[in-house]
Amino acid sequence: MSLHSIMPIPRYKDIVDLLKKGATVEAQEQIMALREAALELQEENLELRQRVKELEENASLRRSLVFRDGMYWRETESGSDGPFCPPCYDNNNKLVRLQYQKGYMSARGDYKARPYYRCTVNDCNFHNRA
């Protein structure tokens, strides 16, 4: 997100002076510039509010996470939610639910009944013994 460069805002006094001199066209131009500046500030204000909300949500999420058994868990009022993938959260700030797997196929093609947690995000190969 890029913030707008602040353009100089016409001064109210200058507009009044222009009107007193009868320079209505110039005054009108200044009023238009003032209006434009107000709209830009309104837009920037909205972006900043959204950014603050985002940061507050991130901070609140971070406070609710605990690291246990090599994975993240989210402590909520209704109990512990999770587990979530550590690399995904630590590197990309994404809370990705880990999938419980009952076992896996070995390289030789036989089934191993050894439970583990797996991250399904493509570039993340996090596995953890259940």
What is the distance between the alpha carbons of residues 33 and 2, in angstroms, rounded to a whole number? 21
What is the distance between the alpha carbons of residues 41 and 6, in angstroms, rounded to a whole number? 9
Residue selected from 71, 72, 85, 117 as contacting Zn ion according to rule CB under 5 A: 85
Q: Quick one: which segment of 18-26, 30-38, 75-83, 113-121 binds Zn ion (CB under 5 A)?
A: 113-121
**H/E stretch holding 79:** strand 79-84
CB of 54 to Zn ion, least distance (A): 21
Which is it for strands 99-101 and 116-118: parallel, antiparallel or unpaired?
antiparallel
Residue selected from 73, 81, 126, 128 as contacting Zn ion according to rule CB under 5 A: 126
How many residues sit close enough to Zn ion to count as binding (CB under 5 A)? 8
* Preceding amide of 10 cis, omega within 30: no
| Helix orientation angle between 12-20 and 24-64, rounded to the nearest 10 degrees | 170
Residue selected from 100, 121, 127, 130 as contacting Zn ion according to rule CB under 5 A: 121
CB of 81 to Zn ion, least distance (A): 16
Residue selected from 31, 33, 37, 124 as contacting Zn ion according to rule CB under 5 A: 124
CB of 106 to Zn ion, least distance (A): 23
- Residue 119 touches Zn ion, criterion: CB under 5 A: yes
Alpha helices in 65-127 (DSSP H): 86-92
Where do contacts with Zn ion occur on this chain (CB under 5 A)? 85, 87-88, 96, 119, 121, 124, 126
